[in-house]
Structure 1
Amino acid sequence: MTSRYAMMLKLDNLLTDFLQAYARKRLERFEAIKQINRLEEITFSNKKQYRYLDKRFKALEEWFIDVGSRLSEDCFDKTIITQVAKCVEKIGSYYQGESKGDDKRVVLYDRKRASRVASMVNVFLQERSKFLGYKYTPTGLKIVRPSETTSSFPARTTSPSKDIKARFKESLKYQLEIVEYFHQPWDHLLSIVNYLLNSLEKKPDIKTKHMAGSILYYMKLNGYKVSSYVGRLQRLSKNLDE
């Protein structure tokens, strides 16, 4: 009787854990939908607070820094990615000066902030698309490979040297895909670095740290002054190493 009771108790605990995990996932999913709808509102809304492009870009930047960076990738699906893609296209049109307003104040905005936002939204879309096995193109989402598994890197093999080499190649491939998405004339490597550092601040990640460090080292070799960015990366790296 005692053994049977213990088994029933164990099954009850397992079921409770499963339901709690399922509930957490559902809540994360609902939160993602809610926040992407918020992104759409900021991007497309005709509300008074977004009449001026500078205010709209400011709200978008705050969304990507405070909200977008903490949304779990596994909460996204093709429908949500499509919503984000439409936002990317609209934000791009804002940056290029598309506006029906007659008031010049409507279309005036901080070019640096707008550049940061354009970079953030492109990287955000690329990362979420890649996780689901899609690639965003001007003609829509294209399937490029199966969805990401829990690990982004291949399973450990019997040869450690081959394993680390494979991981390094995967990291380089990821970096190339990120950079290729910044194909617009206004995109700059420092825009990518800024986004990566903001991401590291919210969520420590070796892949992101590696890419930021690679870009900064390359720019330093080519004569760019990047000491302030390097200092910030070093401070954030301490959190990753701890």
Structure 2
Amino acid sequence: MPIDVDVDAAGVATITINRPERRNALDAEHYHDLGQAFCRVRDEAAIRCAIVTGAGDVFCAGADLKTWIGRDPSLAELWATQAGQLLNRGLEVWKPVIAAINGACIGGGMTLLFATDIRVAARNAFFSLPEGQRGIIPANGGTQRALHQLPHAVAMKLLLTGERMSAEEAGRWGLVNDVVDAGDVMSTARRYAASIAASAPLSIQATKELALRSRDVPLAEGLRMEQLTQRILLASKDAAEGRQAFAERRSPRFEGH
């Protein structure tokens, strides 16, 4: 399969873009399959978080431009805004997503990165948005998220020049959490995933949603949303289990109820 999905016993889904012969570039079929993989993460209660990575030594080279440039799609597609949703183009997945960046992260690979929550990069990884050199734009969130996640001048340099950013520089600007040896990328990502999967799934999803929505609402509304969500979660079985486990000095067994 071009997009592999493996779910372990702890509820961690590992999504692998498996097209190393094309540097894990994505054509229409692979974009569809990647979207379906994240729909599965969203919809399956047993899945508590996800890791996305690439096969071989490349994370993702973005769109397979040979299959995209020159297409003549129907103008009606422009208003089919819910068709073919992607994580980085409107699909709401409140379960945490960890990017394990094992190599080059280019174009659509980088816009996918922007839509993840925790990022681990290999020391040899690099990042770029070269779409302007191909007569297109960094779509699927590139132009919309870059300035939210990087200082203005740094983001604009990426968007406008297409120059590469090293893993070290990405770490310095906070684009990635960790820069590690290539052999440690997945183990570091799995360590984060294990910590998340052991937490209460409803509270983790609520926390992610509230944090992301905070960018779009006034503080007073955000605080009220927080208060209402907390009241709901206090009545959950997981909250009762958390209190009981704390009192009994044992690890909680959360079930997402």
Q: TM-score, normalised by structure 1?
A: 0.31
Instruction: Please identify which structure carries the higher strand content.
Output: 2
Structure possessing the higher radius of gyration over alpha carbons: 1
TM-score if structure 2 supplies the norm length? 0.30
